[in-house]
Amino acid sequence: MTDDAALPTLAELEAAAALIAPHVPPTPQYRWPLLEARLGTWCVVKHENHTPVGAFKVRGGLVYLDMLRRTQGAVAGIVSATRGNHGQSLGFAAARHGVRACVVVPRGNAAEKNAAMRALGVELLEIGDDFQDAVEAADAIAVERGWHRMPSFHRALVAGVGTYALELLRAEPSIERCYVPIGLGSGACGVLAAKAALGHPVDVVGVVSAHAPAYARSLASGRPESHPVATVLADGMACRTPVPEALHHLRALHHVVEVTDDEVADAMRALVSDTHNLAEGAGAASFAAAMQERATLAGRRVAVILCGGNVDRAVAAQVLAAR
């Protein structure tokens, strides 16, 4: 395995943190008594919903664009595919580097995420029925325009988003288990990178949607497997086809938990009731997984990643109104 394919080192994570700091202050990690009572054990929430774009992805965009500027100089523009948070990260970083940015989303994507990307100066195109269709369209647009095709998974992105795990494990070194959602894998790989860099013994548990189980199936079989996506709530985890490089690193996970949309909705309601923080589906998934496994967690020190709070108002209202 080459150095480029390895997880970021401690020096790289710290360099990424220094690069990010002027734009994104360290996010808090809080213990919430009501949430702990619900889970039945010590629990800290890492609030990545408190970044300037409401999600953890902003960290990766800043590091990737800096890397691109240093290694390739000026580029005509950047194009990528997303369900929302990656696109906001791209727009946030591109604006700070004076680079044009185009993002492709599938039709029917969250309206408020689309609006947020446009507000950041992104050219937004709605193409295809799911994320994989958007990926293929972004590939074609990059070739047609001669623009740089920014991936959704890359070592520089992992270094960027891994800085939240560095903050968390240094602030709360007694954590024994950390639940982290898996979309395309940068966030979970970032936690694994910080664990390895710090030599921390934390068990890292990946969380996927039961309605988008491609990563869970692939990790179980040991090879990439595509799977249809049916989740209507956890769009940030709506992955049809795993990234092989991410899959390689995710073999280091302690285990993987699959959560249903109903469990995610319950977790969204719990987070609002107990912490007054609104979570998008993927942002609530880690707490949903902890709740699913709460019978095994008594006496353990647990962390959950609230990776984003960008949920459309209509969806949030529907979820919160349900019993």
Residue 238: pLDDT band with limits 50, 70, 90: confident
d(CA 287, CA 71): 39
Cβ neighbours for 161, distance < 8 A, ≥ 6 positions apart: 56, 57, 59, 60, 186, 187, 190
Q: What are phi and psi of 138, to 5 degrees?
A: -65, -40
Residue 15: pLDDT band with limits 50, 70, 90: very high
Structure tokens at 2: 């080459």
The predicted pLDDT at position 187 comes to: 97
C-beta separation of 26 from 47 below 8 A: no
| Mean of pLDDT values over 251-267 | 98
The runs of H, that is alpha helices, within 23-105 are: 33-39, 57-72, 85-97
d(CA 286, CA 257): 9
Q: How far is CA 162 from CA 93, 155, 156, 212, in A?
A: 17, 10, 10, 23
d(CA 32, CA 54): 20
Structure tokens at 204: 């890292």
| Among 40-49, 235-244, 276-285, 288-297, the least confident range | 235-244
d(CA 206, CA 246): 12
Give the model confidence (pLDDT) of 175-208 as tens digits. 999 999 999 999 999 999 999 999 999 999 999 9
Structure tokens at 186: 């940068």
d(CA 105, CA 84): 8
Give the model confidence (pLDDT) of 44-92 as tens digits. 999 999 999 999 999 999 999 999 999 998 899 999 998 888 999 999 9
d(CA 52, CA 116): 11
Cβ neighbours for 287, distance < 8 A, ≥ 6 positions apart: 35, 39, 45, 179, 267, 270, 271, 279, 304, 306
Give the model confidence (pLDDT) of 285-311 as tens digits. 999 999 999 999 999 999 999 999 999
pTM: 0.95
Of 246, 279, 63, residue with least CA distance to 163: 63
The predicted pLDDT at position 1 comes to: 33
DSSP one-letter code for 252: T
DSSP one-letter code for 296: G
Give the model confidence (pLDDT) of 86-145 as tens digits. 999 999 999 999 999 999 999 998 889 899 999 999 999 999 998 889 999 999 999 999
* Residue carrying structure tokens 């990776």: 307
Structure tokens at 86: 């990656």
d(CA 255, CA 273): 29
pLDDT at 245 over 60: yes
The predicted pLDDT at position 130 comes to: 84
Instruction: Say what percent of the chain tops pLDDT 90.
Output: 88
pLDDT at 3 over 70: no
d(CA 254, CA 100): 40
C-beta separation of 110 from 312 below 8 A: yes
The predicted pLDDT at position 4 comes to: 56
- Cα 241 to its chain centre, rounded Å, is 16
The predicted pLDDT at position 310 comes to: 94
